[in-house]
């Protein structure tokens, strides 16, 4: 990794940056933001996708596959955390003396141009909370720059380039990437074991979140979920503002309805606002409390919080309604960690389907192995569990693990090797009153799309 000192000299109008892995969730907006400031941007990705097509439509040259030729003319390379030194484009850049920077370093440089850098972190809930904060700031008449890990309907994208004083970013702990950031407001939603292909253990993860919070200057804000013991432990002794679902925190929810859609937010002992949410479930109420806490510390009027959150119907792939098949409702969700999966199933149960069918595609071999027992336990609670093969993402299957291993442990579970086979099976078994949720961070959403088609 080349030093942070010279990345600034490269991220200026007229210079040419080549992005390796440009189709990724935070690489795509990075490419577009850099193009908007007047840079020449090219990129490459292993596979063509909706993301790479969007970039091409916006005038960015994207190569599919990786080859040394693709970096021709580039003055610097920016790569995603999943791209290693053995990548042919990285190897070629090294050989030619072209500096290689990490994606997070580039975002770090960009955010220093803003008065307020609001960085939302946590093992779960980042995309939804970042989306909620975005809705509130737009409703308050701010003009923020935004980077979200999912598509937000109000933006028609996962990012926005604004001219205001605020940048709102989803901030990921994987490979410590958020330690390259310069937050003025840091939010920690929760801290759990995940990304164990990089972190040693939970203590290592907590240490990373603590370092992230310590990046906030004295006049900034550190917001932490008081209901999350690991997050509180990680930030022990730091000057935090707490939020949560119980009295006693600086910002908390009360008068909460059974479906968690209606709640009052109390800030500093006084009623700040009343929320009527369009998303259900306790995890979303907690995300809304976090978003309201961010608004409160930034002096945003209550009405903007109320209107902004009333207009939020969820980010793409977050309990997203896809349509109806044979009278069954089809939803899609990005959950790929046992806790997220549990929250998704709990939310689905609030909607009282006759039968809940969970179609799950595990994401990465390392995560499936590390959290195997937790996945088994959560998936047992579906009325029918349909398993797709593990989505490799950045990994090779050196462990020798398969979704068949999960199937053997889950009563009545079925396994199919391909997505078309799953689609065919579902179209023959679903009936009126069923709810089907396709779940996972890979390409399982295609099943929901194919079913509805």
User: Tell me: the pLDDT tens digits for 211-235?
Assistant: 999 999 999 999 999 999 999 999 9
Q: What is the mean pLDDT of residues 378-403?
A: 94
Q: How many CB atoms lie within 10 A of CB 305?
A: 27
> What's the gap between Cα 406 and its chain centre?
25
Tokens at residue 292, please?
């309201």
- How close are the terminal C-alpha atoms of the chain, in Å? 45
Structure confidence at residue 26 (pLDDT): 78
pLDDT tier, 1 (very low <50, low <70, confident <90, very high otherwise): very low
The predicted-structure confidence for 89-133, as pLDDT tens digits, reads as follows: 999 999 999 999 999 899 999 999 899 999 999 998 999 999 999
Rounded to whole angstroms, the maximal C-alpha distance in the chain is 62
Q: Where are the beta strands (DSSP E) in 27-70?
A: 40-45, 61-64
Tallying the residues shown for the chain, one arrives at: 453
pLDDT for res 36: 85
pLDDT of residue 120: 98
- The pLDDT of residue 175 is 84
Whether the per-residue pLDDT at 350 is higher than 90: the answer is no
Pairing of strands 145-152, 157-160: antiparallel
Confidence of residue 49 (pLDDT cuts 50, 70, 90): confident
- pLDDT, residue 161, reads 83
Between CA 32 and CA 107 the distance in angstroms is 12
At a CB cut-off of 8 Å and minimum separation 6, what does 213 contact? 186, 188, 222, 224, 234, 235, 238, 240
Element (H, E) at 340: helix 338-350
What pLDDT does 196 receive? 79
Query: What is the model's pLDDT at position 395?
Result: 87
pTM for this model (two decimals): 0.79
pLDDT of residue 81: 78
State the chain's mean pLDDT as an integer. 93
Domains along the chain with CATH numbers: 4-106 (3.40.50.720), 114-310 (3.40.1190.10), 320-452 (3.90.190.20)
The mean per-residue pLDDT over the stretch 294-320 comes to: 92
pLDDT bin (cut points 50, 70, 90) of residue 3 is very low
Q: Which two tokens stand for residue 370?
A: 């590390």
Q: Name the residues annotated as catalytic.
A: 126-127, 170
Please state, in angstroms and rounded to a whole number, the distance separating the CA atoms of residues 299 and 297: 6
**Residue 160 to residues 26, 45, 157: CA-CA distances in angstroms?**
12, 22, 7
The reported pLDDT for the residue numbered 287 is: 97
């Amino acid at each position: 990794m080349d030093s942070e000192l010279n990345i600034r000299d490269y991220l200026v109008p007229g210079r040419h940056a080549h992005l390796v892995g440009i189709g990724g969730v935070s690489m795509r907006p990075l490419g577009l933001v850099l193009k908007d400031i007047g840079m020449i941007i090219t990129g490459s990705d292993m596979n063509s996708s909706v993301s790479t097509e969007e970039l091409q439509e916006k005038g960015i040259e994207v190569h599919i596959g990786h080859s040394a030729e693709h970096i021709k003319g580039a003055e610097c390379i920016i790569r995603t955390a999943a791209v290693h030194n053995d990548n042919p484009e990285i190897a070629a850049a090294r050989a030619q003396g072209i500096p290689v920077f990490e994606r997070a370093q580039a975002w770090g440089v960009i955010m220093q141009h803003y008065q307020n850098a609001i960085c939302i972190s946590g093992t779960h809930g980042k995309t939804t909370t970042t989306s909620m904060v975005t809705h509130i700031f737009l409703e308050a008449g701010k003009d923020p720059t935004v980077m979200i890990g999912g598509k937000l309907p109000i933006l028609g994208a996962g990012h926005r380039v604004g001219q205001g004083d605020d940048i709102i970013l989803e901030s990921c702990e994987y490979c410590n990437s958020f330690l390259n950031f310069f937050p003025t407001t840091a939010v920690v939603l929760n801290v759990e074991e995940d990304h164990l292909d990089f972190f040693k253990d939970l203590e290592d993860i907590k240490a990373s979140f603590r370092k992230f919070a310590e990046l906030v200057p004295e006049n900034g804000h550190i917001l932490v979920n008081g209901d999350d013991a690991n997050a509180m432990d990680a930030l022990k002794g730091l000057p935090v503002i707490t939020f949560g679902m119980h009295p006693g925190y600086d910002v908390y929810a009360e008068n909460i309805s059974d479906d968690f859609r209606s709640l009052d937010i109390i800030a500093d002992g006084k009623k700040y606002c009343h929320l009527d949410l369009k998303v259900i479930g306790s995890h979303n109420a907690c995300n809304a409390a976090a978003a309201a806490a961010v608004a409160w510390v930034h002096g945003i009027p209550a009405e903007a919080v109320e209107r902004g959150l009333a207009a939020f119907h969820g980010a793409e792939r977050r309990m997203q309604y896809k349509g109806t098949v044979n009278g069954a409702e089809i939803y899609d969700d990005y959950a790929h960690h046992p806790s997220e999966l549990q929250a998704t199933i709990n939310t689905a149960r609030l909607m009282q389907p006759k039968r809940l069918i969970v179609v799950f595609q595990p994401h990465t071999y390392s995560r499936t192995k590390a959290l195997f027992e937790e996945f088994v336990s959560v998936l047992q609670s579906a009325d029918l569990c349909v398993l797709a093969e593990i989505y490799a993402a950045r990994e090779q299957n050196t462990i020798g693990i398969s979704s068949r291993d999960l199937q053997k442990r889950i009563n009545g579970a079925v396994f199919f090797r391909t997505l078309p086979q799953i689609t065919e099976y579902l179209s023959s078994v679903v009936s009126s009153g069923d709810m089907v949720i396709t779940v996972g961070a890979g390409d399982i959403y295609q099943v929901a799309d194919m079913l509805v088609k």
